[in-house]
Amino acid sequence: MTSRQTCAIPDPLPFKDVPTKLEIRRRVTLTLTESYQNARLAELARAYDILAVRPIDERTLQLACSSLDCDIISLDLTQRLPFYFRFKMLSEAVKSGKRFELCYSQGVLGDSAARRNLISNATQLIRASRGRGLIISSVAKAVVGCRGPWDAINLATIWGLAQDRGFEAMSKEPRSVVVTAQLKRTSYRGVIDVFYGGEKPALSEKDLRVADVGEGKGKTKQQVTTGQKRKAASEAVAGADARDEAAAKPISNREAKRRKHQARLNGSDAKEGATNSGLGGGGDTAQTSAEGEPKEAGLQPAMEAG
């Protein structure tokens, strides 16, 4: 490596009519031949968007899964590997955000030996990783080696990968690799990322006048409605408080006696009024004498006869 790493991919790309919404990422794949850690991967990672390593033996695979700061671990599954995949080693890499790459183009275009080794190694990798942390890619050097997403998923299903895991290996896991790699290079310690969202467009004079008029009308109407609601609410609360206070206030013994005595007086007055009205309506039952003294009508004849 040189003292200063530069990207070999030209920027901008020498392509025409590239869609504006298409994002092209630059990736570099580094083959690990020795297990030393001073590989100066930090400088190489700054020059590219995605950093992938390809170990060739068990020591380099252990180094890539544990301490190397990479995004993808790509394995040449067309060769007969002199080691076995272990779940503990692979799960350590998956927990740290690294993903293992399954390349299917060699199984489509390769010879019989490469196809046999690919199927055997892919089955072992899927079994050891339990279908987690895998991405499916073609690594094709020609267009004829590429297949559709569902064709690749069905091919991985034949190798032992569940269909839902295969769908994640074609959609969710590659996106997580791209996002994680971008956060590593642009954010603060891979946690916080600050980006520029653009300036807010200034409002014209017409828009400002419309906004001011609408705000004033809305505020006046809101004040009137709020005043009416507050008045009705205050009256309802006052009535409820008065009823609650009257119902909850206890009556003393003195007040109870006074109310009982007042009720008794009212009852006696009502009875006297009813008696007086009955006597006045029945006619005169007593007579007066010539001298003006009252006397009973039934005794007058007897006294005169005697």
Task: Say if 159 falls within a structural domain.
Answer: yes
Task: Say if 271 falls within a structural domain.
Answer: no
Task: Say if 65 falls within a structural domain.
Answer: yes
* The predicted structure's pLDDT at residue 246: 57
- pLDDT tens readout for residues 76-94: 888 888 888 888 888 888 8
Task: Say if 53 falls within a structural domain.
Answer: yes
Task: Say if 13 falls within a structural domain.
Answer: no
Task: Say if 50 falls within a structural domain.
Answer: yes
Considering the chain, what percentage of its residues have pLDDT values greater than 90?
A: 2
Residues whose CB is less than 8 angstroms from the CB of residue 102 and which lie 6 or more positions away in sequence, other chains included:
77, 122, 125, 134, 135, 136, 137, 156, 169
Confidence tier at 287 by pLDDT (50, 70, 90):
very low
Number of domains in the chain: 1
Residue written as tokens 């570099």? 28
Return the ∠ at Cα 118 (arms to 117 and 122), rounded to 5°.
115
Task: Say if 52 falls within a structural domain.
Answer: yes
- pLDDT tens readout for residues 290-299: 444 444 444 4
- pLDDT tens readout for residues 183-195: 877 776 666 767 6
Task: Say if 145 falls within a structural domain.
Answer: yes
| pLDDT at 222 exceeding the cut of 70 | no
Find the domain containing 152 and state its range: 27-186
